[in-house]
Chains A and B, each alone.
Chain A
Amino acid sequence: MIAVAGLLVGVVLGLILQPSVPVELQPYLPIAVVAALDALFGAVRARLEGVFDERVFVTSFLFNVVIAALLVFLGDQLGVGSQLSTAVVVVLGIRIFSNAASIRRHVFKA
């Protein structure tokens, strides 16, 4: 609940404040956002499965975001930034889908 509320507050805040992304962070923000979404979906799934743990959620959220950004940063340094960010997005996308599938199973029992 609080996560959804926080998300809404964040969106509203973003719309009101209209923050601009710092140039150095621009390549990493989309990946970080996707990673955070992945963590959020995972949290919802864990909640539905009854194994939700705030600590795990908080650490996985931060860790996911940092790791995703680091991977992209590393890819940029190695000259494979675009490929690596694609890879990260694909992996996170697959995870989001599988999480969404189990959420669906829990919610709709199907």
Chain B
Amino acid sequence: MTDEHDGPQEPAEQPQVPAAQQPEQPGRGATRRRSGRGRSLRAQLLIGLMSVLLGLGIVAQVRQTEQDEFAALRQDDLVRLMSEVTERNQQLTEERTQLRRDLSALSSGSGDRQVAEDYAQLQAILAGTVPVEGPGVVVTVVPGDQPVDAQRMVHMLEEMRNAGAEAISVSGQRLTASSAFVDTVDGLQVNGVSISAPYEWRAIGGPETLAVALDIPGGAMASMRNIGASVDLVERDLVQITAVRDVDQPEHAEVTDPED
């Protein structure tokens, strides 16, 4: 690098060369100058060619750099960058997989639980194992001279069910699918428990539907009135049925797969 044209030694060197070479090649400096045109033409062509190459190189490099931000990076930098990117990619892929799993677990889990809860609630209401409340009617039956028999009570129950009552109780006894009214010498029994007058029916359902259904001519209330009982129906926005029933484990029935 020291013998370059542009080096600091150059001005000192230049005069030395002819001086040193003078004895061996006396005419060198002069020859060069004399044949300056031919030499100069060739040299100038060479210089021009090199400049062209330099321009080409600059343009190519600039374009390369613009094209690709990684072009200027060295191989080991690129390798490191690539391994970093690969690692990051792997991490993100794992994270994505984990999140997908979480998402599906959460959505299906909550869905299952929700459905199961709804179903359990429905079953509990139908089986009468939970206290319930809602709009409905309260019917008070005060028997007259004649006692109200089981048949009329069943009639009342059926009318209520037909009118869409979702939960029914009478005098603190929850009425479900397995409930039964029985006439005994001591009076009326329901669910195996004696109840006495006045009988208070509570039914949760559409109050107006229930009221109309129970009050139709020849209906449940009419048949009670026929035997001298006084029947009083009140529609309420909130009827609470706190009576519950214990459900025995089924002894004979088993769940089967509907496919079979």
Partner of A81, one of B44, B47, B75: B75
Please list the residues of chain B having a beta carbon within 8 angstroms of any beta carbon in chain A: 1, 3-7, 10-11, 14, 39-40, 43-44, 46-61, 63-65, 71-72, 74-77
Taking a contact as CB atoms under 8 Å apart, the answer to whether B51 and A41 are in contact is no
Taking a contact as CB atoms under 8 Å apart, the answer to whether A56 and B48 are in contact is no
When C-beta atoms are compared, the residue in chain A nearest to B71 turns out to be: A26
Kindly state whether residue A3 has any CB partner on chain B within 8 Å: yes
Known pairs A27-B75, A57-B47; A8 contacts B55 (CB<8 A): yes
Please list the residues of chain A having a beta carbon within 8 angstroms of any beta carbon in chain B: 2-15, 17-21, 26-27, 29-30, 32-33, 36-43, 45-46, 49, 51-58, 60-64, 67, 76, 79, 81-82, 85, 95, 99
Partner of A3, one of B6, B51, B64, B74: B51
Known: A11-B55, A54-B43. 13 other contacts (CB 8 A): A6-B48, A6-B51, A7-B55, A10-B59, A11-B59, A13-B59, A14-B59, A17-B56, A37-B54, A39-B6, A40-B51, A54-B39, A54-B47
> Which 7 pairs of residues, A with B, have the shortest CB-CB distance?
A42-B6, A10-B55, A14-B59, A6-B51, A54-B43, A6-B48, A10-B52
Report the bound CA distance from A82 to B44 in whole Å: 35
- A10: chain B residues at CB < 8 Å are 51-59
Partner of B56, one of A3, A19, A58: A19
- B74: chain A residues at CB < 8 Å are 27, 76, 81-82, 85
27 A-B pairs with CB atoms under 8 Å apart are A3-B51, A6-B47, A9-B48, A9-B55, A10-B52, A10-B55, A10-B56, A10-B57, A13-B55, A14-B58, A17-B56, A21-B64, A32-B57, A36-B57, A39-B6, A42-B6, A43-B5, A43-B6, A51-B11, A52-B5, A53-B14, A54-B47, A57-B5, A58-B46, A81-B75, A82-B74, A82-B76
Question: Closest Cβ of chain B: how far from A48's Cβ, in Å?
Answer: 11
Question: Closest Cβ of chain B: how far from A52's Cβ, in Å?
Answer: 7
Per DSSP, chain B at the interface is helix
Report the bound CA distance from A4 to B44 in whole Å: 11
Partner of B43, one of A13, A20, A58: A58
Known pairs A42-B4, A43-B6, A58-B47; A6 contacts B57 (CB<8 A): no
Report the bound CA distance from A12 to B58 in whole Å: 11
Taking a contact as CB atoms under 8 Å apart, the answer to whether B6 and A33 are in contact is no
- A39: chain B residues at CB < 8 Å are 4-6
When C-beta atoms are compared, the residue in chain A nearest to B45 turns out to be: A2
When C-beta atoms are compared, the residue in chain A nearest to B73 turns out to be: A82
Question: Closest Cβ of chain B: how far from A51's Cβ, in Å?
Answer: 5
When C-beta atoms are compared, the residue in chain A nearest to B49 turns out to be: A6
